[in-house]
Chain A
Amino acid sequence: MRRTSLTALALAAAAALALTGCASNDTAPAATPTETATVSTLSGSPTISAAASLKAAFDELATEFEDANPDVDIQPISYDGSSTLATQIIEGAPVDVFASADEKNMQKVVDAGLATEPQLFATNVLTLVVPKGNPGGITGLADLANADLNIVLCAAEVPCGAASATLLQNAGVTASVDSYEQNVTAVLTKVASGEADAGLVYVTDAKTTTDVETVDTEGADEVVNKYPIVTLTGATNPEAAEAFVAFVLSDHGQKVLSGLGFGAP
């Protein structure tokens, strides 16, 4: 009795498996002509890793890119400190496009043989930010040396951290830092929530929230972070990846970036 019911179960399972193979195939969506003159034949699901400061810009560019290329489905973009992303890529994360907030972290990826000839697509400078209302009474970089205030900076190996260190060194200020964060968004969050009295973030980050105010930062224009972007050599969606890179470098892409506060490359 038990043997027959087991056999019946096995046959049913086999039948179910066979039927799923014959299930209606998802027909590939035909490239229907849209309002645009050219029909995009690009397809794929490229993965992009981008510096945390690029979130607003790349979210917008990704949406526009997907609208112009209906068969392309960009995977949710990984935003994090460029050094974290570089480490992930070097350790084998399957990424198609990498956009870093400085050339040093891009160089790590190039040195590991995973990319060639990155191109610069934007620049960014730092600014001092304080919570709305400036509770700490910050007037400039010199106030960062005040041990009574809560100062938050990016960690040294993160691009904004390296830039912050250079900026402070140029200004001759030894900051009394209470926490080193792994990416610039974490710094912005701590300042915006009022937990920190001041922090150094990019001018583009300061624009993303109304919970912070910027303070005039002397010497900030001299410390410029250059943002490179590259398609990785091991990319699984090289055409879509190259097209996205080209889109970022195009006039339209550059207009979006400068509209958000980035400088020209």
Chain B
Amino acid sequence: MSERRGFVPQVLVVPAVLGLALLVVPLSALIARVDWSTLWADITSPTALSALGLSLMTAAIATAGCVVLGVPLALFIARASGRVAAVLRAVVTVPLVLPPMVGGVALLFLLGRNGWLGKLLGQVGIQVPFTTSAVVISQVFVALPFLVLALEGSLRATGVGYEQAAAALGAGRWRILWRVTLPLAAPGLLAGVVLCFARAVGEFGATALFAGNAPGITQTMPLAIYTAFNGAGVSQGTAVALSLLLLITAVAVLLLVRAWRPTPAGVR
């Protein structure tokens, strides 16, 4: 049946193809620069594996943190009145439009040695900059808005109708949350989680300024790639190999998540 094709004007295929090309062609140029003879050695070098492991671990923890903090926030924004919701949504969007480096500076001024929170923590013996926790905090800061906004949009769209029905039938708040609200918002939640993870893995600016760059502790993949790329010559092959590794990992994660996506009833 040709109903699915719809009635899109034919000429729009040109900008569509250009848009796709803009995304795909640079990646193909990256793949073309790979030095296949040293690729395996570069990818399995201690630097690469430690950076990849650190990136995946911190991004996973950061995503978990975003879910724990972001879901309640999204719920409150979605159920708040128009004006309050608009203000909250604007506040949540700020880290999105802020250059990540500025986020890093802000975190440093708060949690660094001379920041008021940093000083308090310092008195208890806790130091945040230059630690893996700093990496996770930076990633949560930049990735949380993605999860909140994606989920909030989905929650608002589904509305409170089903929740009201459940309450009328005698369900308590927690039961409504687990059995009605979250399952209905699952597509938005999943999209938010994927975006959040992707953003956390790719985070560079805030991490570089706030957490620092130490192999094994704070040198995530983006930092390792940047460090390798700046040392031109031999190291550049490492940079390209690491970029390819990150690209493959990202694609693998996306495919994995798609495999888990719940298919809405009645739609193939």
Contact = CB atoms under 8 A, between A and B. Distances in A.
Interface of A: 81, 83-84, 86-87, 90, 108, 150, 152, 155-158, 177-182, 193-195
Given A179-B130, A180-B214, 11 more contacts: A83-B230, A87-B230, A90-B232, A155-B227, A157-B227, A182-B213, A194-B113, A194-B114, A195-B108, A195-B112, A195-B129
Nearest to B231: A157
Contacts, number: 59
Interface of B: 108, 112-114, 127, 129-130, 212-215, 217-219, 226-227, 229-233, 235-236
Contacts of B129: 150, 195
A106 to B, nearest CB: 12
A86 B232 CA distance: 7
A152 B232 contact: no
B212 A178 contact: yes
Contacts of B235: 157
> Interface residues of A: mostly helix, strand, loop or mixed?
loop
B130 A87 contact: no
A201 to B, nearest CB: 16
Contacts of B217: 178
Contact of A179 (B113, B214, B230, B233): B214
B230 A84 contact: yes
Contacts of B127: 150
Contacts of B232: 83, 86-87, 90, 108
A82 to B, nearest CB: 10
A156 B233 CA distance: 14
B227 A179 contact: no
Top 9 A-B residue pairs of the complex, sorted by shortest distance between their CB atoms: A179-B212, A157-B231, A87-B232, A178-B130, A84-B230, A180-B213, A83-B230, A194-B113, A83-B231
B2 to A, nearest CB: 35
Contacts of B215: 180
A108 B232 CA distance: 8
A152 B212 contact: yes
A108 B233 contact: yes
Contacts of A84: 230
A193 B233 CA distance: 34
Contacts of B113: 194-195
Contacts of A83: 230-232
B213 A155 contact: yes
Nearest to B232: A87
6 contacts: A83-B232, A158-B230, A179-B213, A179-B218, A180-B215, A182-B213
A178 B212 CA distance: 7
A193 B213 CA distance: 17
A178 B214 contact: yes
A194 B118 CA distance: 12
A177 B230 contact: no
Contacts of B212: 152, 178-180
A98 B215 CA distance: 30
Nearest to A157: B231
Contact of A155 (B108, B130, B230, B233): B230
Contacts of A155: 213, 227, 230-231
A87 B236 contact: yes
A111 B113 CA distance: 44
Contacts of B226: 182
A72 B56 CA distance: 51
A193 B109 CA distance: 10
A149 to B, nearest CB: 11
Nearest to B215: A180
A87 B217 CA distance: 26
Contacts of A90: 232
